[in-house]
Amino acid sequence: MAVTSFIPTVWESRLLANFHKASIADVITTPPTEIKGNKITFNKVGAVAVKDYAGTVTFDELTTSSVDLNMDQEKYFAFKVKDVDKVQSAGDLVDAHTSEAGATLQETVDSYILGLYTGVHADNTIGDDTTAIALDKLNVYDSIVDLGTKLNKKKVPKTGRYVVINSDVLGLLSKDDRFTRQPVVLENGVVEGQKINGMQVVVSEEIANVTGKLKIVALHQSAIGYGKQIDEIEAMRLESDFADGIRGLMVYGASVLRPEALAVLTATIANQ
């Protein structure tokens, strides 16, 4: 084998492709306008005034404001392979390794994104850690409808809305005739063809759980800004082993950009 024949772009592109395929973070957030190094930039459009017409028209200057974030979260992976050349020539083995790394990164990033529920406006919450809503098959659907109503009152756009639940909540919803009895969950967590109060239902086991209280998040894509990149991926000969090592570093960052476009239901699962 020759570590010098290692092709980083092969591993990096497959890793990112597998990550995009599975991550809900890419589905429910807005991407940055620009990435420079470890800094990501999001542009926000200013308000446009509507005026009474009295025979003349005056033009306003359009304004935008930018939000800069540092990708300050860093995660790495490192594993051994017996022969880099053979692994690279057998594409299925590359996919196996990168799929595993991508899945683990996906879980970590999704948990981070869904942990940003703390940026919600106080009046966009239902329940809290003291008075959590005990969900059952009779109230689960209506409780999620109420989340969407919170977004409606903030005039959040109708398109691009999501509500993120876990499998326990999906099971309860499946017992309500207003929801499908046989939900199909796609690889990226989207429940095919299922919306509640205009919100696309997404399933993730990474929703926050605070001392047994679930944080069910409803949001518009513009609520959270998120960016990521593979900072480095490389191979090396391991001195202490008859094998090669492959390691990679991913950096990412996210922040709540529009707290009014975020609503949170604090809930438990009632004993059935």
pLDDT attached to residue 46: 67
96 and 12 housed in the same domain:
yes
Q: What is the pLDDT of residues 63-116, one digit of tens each?
A: 667 788 888 899 888 877 776 656 665 555 566 666 777 778 888 999 999 999
| Residue 177 CB partners (closer than 8 Å, separation 6+) | none
pLDDT attached to residue 242: 72
Instruction: Categorize the per-residue pLDDT at 33 as very low, low, confident or very high, splitting at 50, 70 and 90.
Output: confident
More confident residue, 46 or 130: 130
265 and 156 housed in the same domain:
yes
78: three-class secondary structure by DSSP: strand
Residues forming a β-bridge with 236: 245
Please give the Cα distance from 256 to 266 (Å, whole number). Answer: 18
154 and 106 housed in the same domain:
no
110 and 243 housed in the same domain:
yes
Total domain count, the chain: 2
85 and 144 housed in the same domain:
no
Using CB atoms within 10 A of its CB, is residue 187 exposed (0-12), middle (13-18) or buried (19+)?
exposed
Task: Report the percent of the chain where pLDDT is more than 70.
Answer: 86
| Residue 24 CB partners (closer than 8 Å, separation 6+) | 110, 113, 164, 188, 189, 202, 204, 206
Q: Which is nearest to 172 in space by CA: 142, 205, 198? A: 142
pLDDT attached to residue 60: 82
Q: Which two tokens stand for residue 1?
A: 């084998």
160 and 264 housed in the same domain:
yes
Please give the Cα distance from 51 to 184 (Å, whole number). Answer: 48
109 and 165 housed in the same domain:
no
Q: What is the pLDDT of residues 233-251, one digit of tens each?
A: 777 777 777 777 778 888 8
Range of the domain at 218: 121-223+259-269
178 and 57 housed in the same domain:
no
161 has a pLDDT exceeding 50: yes
Q: Which is nearest to 214 in space by CA: 227, 202, 223, 205? A: 205
CB 69 within 8 A of CB 39: yes
148 and 184 housed in the same domain:
yes
pLDDT attached to residue 179: 95
138: three-class secondary structure by DSSP: coil
Please give the Cα distance from 235 to 76 (Å, whole number). Answer: 13
Instruction: Categorize the per-residue pLDDT at 13 as very low, low, confident or very high, splitting at 50, 70 and 90.
Output: confident
229 and 212 housed in the same domain:
no
More confident residue, 8 or 4: 8
| Alpha-carbon torsion (168, 217, 221, 200), positive or negative | positive
- The identity of residue 242, as a single letter, is F
pLDDT attached to residue 231: 72
pLDDT attached to residue 248: 80
204 and 94 housed in the same domain:
no
More confident residue, 63 or 118: 118
258 has a pLDDT exceeding 90: yes
89 and 44 housed in the same domain:
yes
Q: Which is nearest to 216 in space by CA: 159, 153, 154, 150? A: 150
Write the CATH number for 174: 3.30.2320
